[in-house]
């Protein structure tokens, strides 16, 4: 039995999970992982990048032991219907395992044009949904979330997360349209890119816009370096993680002379990163422990020098709002140098594990590069490091590329 139809079945729910805000991607990946175990057996031993990646996850899980206010493994009960896995460490391990078996099963999937076509269709449905919200978002928010400001804010956040998910789908759709549909494809791709970019602007989703820039930059790198582009791309991402505190300290210092010209939201982000870097220096090797940044609740009231540059409604706003909104800095803050080195080494191993871009068909090599560039951009500005929805969606998108690669039989151009 091939895993391809099961993966395609998971993508039937991709647009639904995206509309609901993305957190449903984690249980969806869990179901895909269960199917993967049932129909396929991964090759052993695992690739070096997977082993090192698991080393990072294991270290992060261990760090929860010394994290302040760490949670119990479980909460609630099955009997009462409120059972939940509360420990971030266990959730991270389960997500890594399901992601690993899903990718391993896809690597052994038989070619399946119908399955691949269904995946493309579902990504297209999600793109149409996001672009369609340009015209009906107000009506949808009012109909679904009512007039409660808090509920409306929740709805707006779901739309924003849906846009971030589309930013992960664009690197798959655009190369496929341009390179597989020779006549209408480029026109459709241009309409999709313009529509998505317009939606991101109107929704105020800066991370999705930056993801489009990251996608283009990564694709350009691989186009210019068809033999070593993946190594440079993933090597650069590894270096970014390894040197994140230094890089962002330099960025903050460079922007200091013009900081008062920047929007308040961006200045608050810079100050958040400054606090995280300072906290990281307290325990640079081991880190503060998994989930520690959510316990840093100091508000701008504790920093009158910064508050004087903001309006009064920032007084009780946390300087670090739950997490740094930069996963590289969060890796350093919570897992220290040990975690950062393991994460970086995993990417270096992946860079040397992937085939040369020129060995893949153009739409496949550009999809791999574009997905990496878009994911790195969202990684840098949007989610908590331990956001299961983001990582699950990224895994499913990577699995879709692998399925397409195994389906398309023509030699690379």
Q: How far, in Å, are 145, 151, 276, 381 from residue 332 at the CA level?
A: 38, 34, 9, 15
Residue 327 banded pLDDT, cuts 50, 70, 90:
very high
* 90-120 CB burial, b ≥16 within 10 A, e <16: ebbbbbbebbbbbbbbbbbbeebeebbebbb
b/e per residue 182-204 (b: at least 16 CB within 10 A): eeebeebbeebbebbeebbeebe
Q: Are 80 and 133 in contact (CB under 8 A)?
A: no
**What pLDDT does residue 265 have?**
85
Contact indicator for 10, 28 with CB cutoff of 8 Å: yes
CA distances, 369 to each of 12, 109, 237 (Å) = 25, 22, 12
Spans of all domains in the chain: 4-240+330-406
Q: Considering only 120-134, 235-249, 397-411, which range has the smallest mean pLDDT?
A: 397-411
Chain center to CA of 255: 26
Distance CA 362, CA 357 (A): 8
Element (H, E) at 9: helix 4-11
Task: Grade residue 79 by pLDDT with cuts at 50, 70 and 90.
Answer: low
Q: What is the DSSP letter of 109?
A: P
Bridge partners (DSSP) listed for residue 74: 85
Distance between first and last Cα of the chain: 31
Q: What is the pLDDT of residues 105-160, one digit of tens each?
A: 998 887 777 888 899 999 999 999 999 988 877 777 777 676 777 777 777 788 88
Q: What is the SS3 assignment for 261?
A: helix
> Is pLDDT above 60 for 411?
no
């Amino acid at each position: 039995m091939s895993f391809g139809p099961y993966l395609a079945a998971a993508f039937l729910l991709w647009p639904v999970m995206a509309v609901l805000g993305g957190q449903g991607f984690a249980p969806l990946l869990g179901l895909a992982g269960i199917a993967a175990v049932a129909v396929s057996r991964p090759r052993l031993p695992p690739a070096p990048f997977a082993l090192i990646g698991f080393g990072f996850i294991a270290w992060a899980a261990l760090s929860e032991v010394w994290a302040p206010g760490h949670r119990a493994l479980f909460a609630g009960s099955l009997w009462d219907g409120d059972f939940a896995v509360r420990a971030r460490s266990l959730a991270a391990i389960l997500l890594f395992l399901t992601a690993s078996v899903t990718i391993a099963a896809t690597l052994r999937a038989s070619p399946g044009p119908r399955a691949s076509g269904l995946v493309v269709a579902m990504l297209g449905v999600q793109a149409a949904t996001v672009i369609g919200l340009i015209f009906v978002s107000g009506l949808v928010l009012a109909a679904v979330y009512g007039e409660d400001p808090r509920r409306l804010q929740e709805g707006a956040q779901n739309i924003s997360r849906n846009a971030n998910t589309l930013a992960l789908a664009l690197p798959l759709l655009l190369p496929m349209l341009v390179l597989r549909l020779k006549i209408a494809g480029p026109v459709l791709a241009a309409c999709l890119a313009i529509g998505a970019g317009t939606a991101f602007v109107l929704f105020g989703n800066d991370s999705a816009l930056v993801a489009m820039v990251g996608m283009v930059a990564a694709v350009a790198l691989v186009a210019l370096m068809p033999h070593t582009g993946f190594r440079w791309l993933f090597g650069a991402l590894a270096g970014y993680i390894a040197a994140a505190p230094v890089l962002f300290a330099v960025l903050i210092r460079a922007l200091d002379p013009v900081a008062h010209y920047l929007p308040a939201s961006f200045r608050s982000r810079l100050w958040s990163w400054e606090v995280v870097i300072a906290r990281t220096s307290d325990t640079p090797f081991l880190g503060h422990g998994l989930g520690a940044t959510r316990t840093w609740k100091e508000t701008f009231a504790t920093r009158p020098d910064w508050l004087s540059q903001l309006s009064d409604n920032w007084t009780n706003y946390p300087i670090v709002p739950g997490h740094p909104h930069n996963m590289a800095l969060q890796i350093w803050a919570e897992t220290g140098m040990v975690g950062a080195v393991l994460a970086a080494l995993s990417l270096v191993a992946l860079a040397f594990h992937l085939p040369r871009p020129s060995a893949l068909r153009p739409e496949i090599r550009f999809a791999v590069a574009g997905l990496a560039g878009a994911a790195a951009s969202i990684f840098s500005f949007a989610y908590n490091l331990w956001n299961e929805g983001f990582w699950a969606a990224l895994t499913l998108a990577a699995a879709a590329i692998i399925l397409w690669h195994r389906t398309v039989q023509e030699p690379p151009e």
